[in-house]
Amino acid sequence: MTKMPIPPKKVKAITMVRNDRFLRKWVEYYGKHLGKENLYVFFDGEDQEIPDFCDGVNTQLVPKMQGNVVSTERQRSRFISAHAAKLFDQGADMVIATDADEFLVVDPLVDDSLLNFLSYIADKHHVHSGLGVDVLQHLDTEGPIDFSKPFLSQRHRGWLYSRYTKPSIITRPYTWGGGCHRVKGQNFHIAPGLYLFHFGGVDLEHLRQISADPARIANGWTRHQIKRQKAIEKVNRVKAGEWDKMVTPLRHIQTWCRPIFALNKPTTFGLKFVARIPERFQNII
């Protein structure tokens, strides 16, 4: 167990959504660990309704981001970076920024809460990441996802994917790049025992429904969603290895292997490392 700093750090979490099915889980998860009063949800488009489960959360409807998928992702990252800076001005010690389908999880073997863990590592580095785990449906053995039940009780394979080893946690104002996949001008630390679980590809049928959404088609999301569907098919053909034998070497690889064109982003050079997610995670999300 990590040693609890006195007092614990003030940690805030931000996301931005538009008609996002994952938001309820995001609010429940981060609300449990950080307190709903420390969550900030921005709704991309004033035509949306703020759901009842966001009671107690800091919410705001904002004008819809205009442009294609690349443009809007950059706009969102600049918007979130600006609001993170405001939170630091108001006394925050750390700010988390994730999509609504992304969850920072402390390995149960560490035997610590998310708040305690983040408080402990806060002063060690300015930018932190969990090891990225892209949770994808295994088509041969797993049926449609039930959003009312824990995801990791229904999905058992994770692609240890450098794209989701994202610098989600900052301890001072910085500017995130598009999709918050990097912090401009900064490297980051992949914290041992911390993971970023991504559930965007957790259910093939859900991806197909998104792909057919006229609004997403108009914004250029079709190519992205088809790419996600193909990722499920590709990863299904990769044999899953043992999690506890893979995660530490992968953390080291992603720490030291960076593409020449983006030295502040990790890479595994196209190799796919898929691991069986241990049962100890199954009721967390």
SS3 string, 194-246, reads EEEEECCCCCHHHHHHHHCCHHHHHCCCHHHHHHHHHHHHHHHCCCCEEHHHH
Q: Give the model's pLDDT for residue 261.
A: 82
3-class secondary-structure state, position 1: coil
Q: Give the model's pLDDT for residue 68.
A: 78
The confidence band for 219, taking pLDDT boundaries of 50, 70 and 90, is low
| 273/173 Cα distance (integer angstroms) | 33
Instruction: Give the CA diameter of the chain.
Output: 51
How many C-beta atoms surround the C-beta of residue 42 within 10 A? Answer: 18
Contact, 88 vs 4, CB < 8 A?
Answer: no
Cα separations in angstroms, 56 against 6, 13, 52, 87, 110: 26, 14, 9, 17, 30
Q: Give the model's pLDDT for residue 156.
A: 97
pTM: 0.94
- Does a structural domain hold residue 52? yes
- Does a structural domain hold residue 5? no
The confidence band for 260, taking pLDDT boundaries of 50, 70 and 90, is confident
Identity of the residue numbered 13: A
- Does a structural domain hold residue 84? yes
- 18-50 pLDDT, tens digit per residue, is 989 999 999 999 999 999 999 999 999 999 999
| High-pLDDT (> 70) share of the chain, % | 93
The burial class, CB within 10 Å (0-12 / 13-18 / 19+), for 113 is: middle
- Does a structural domain hold residue 21? yes
Which is more confidently placed, 186 or 260? 186
- Does a structural domain hold residue 37? yes
Q: Give the model's pLDDT for residue 251.
A: 96
Which residues, other chains included, contact 93 with Cβ-Cβ below 8 Å and sequence gap of 6+?
Answer: 9, 10, 11, 122, 171
**Residue that has been written with the tokens 């040693």 in this structure:** 3
Q: Give the model's pLDDT for residue 264.
A: 87
Q: Give the model's pLDDT for residue 266.
A: 93
Looking at residue 170, what DSSP letter applies? E
- 80-95 pLDDT, tens digit per residue, is 999 999 999 999 999 9
- The H or E element containing residue 87 is helix 69-89
- 113-122 pLDDT, tens digit per residue, is 999 999 999 9
Structural domain including 247 reads 11-281
- The total number of structural domains in the chain stands at 1
Which residues, other chains included, contact 260 with Cβ-Cβ below 8 Å and sequence gap of 6+?
Answer: none
- Does a structural domain hold residue 1? no
- 119-167 pLDDT, tens digit per residue, is 999 999 999 999 999 999 999 999 999 999 999 999 999 999 999 999 9
Least confidently predicted of 48-62, 178-192, 241-255: 178-192
Contact, 180 vs 168, CB < 8 A?
Answer: yes
Cα separations in angstroms, 179 against 134, 229, 237: 15, 19, 28
- Does a structural domain hold residue 202? yes
For the segment 197-204, the average pLDDT, to the nearest whole number, is 94
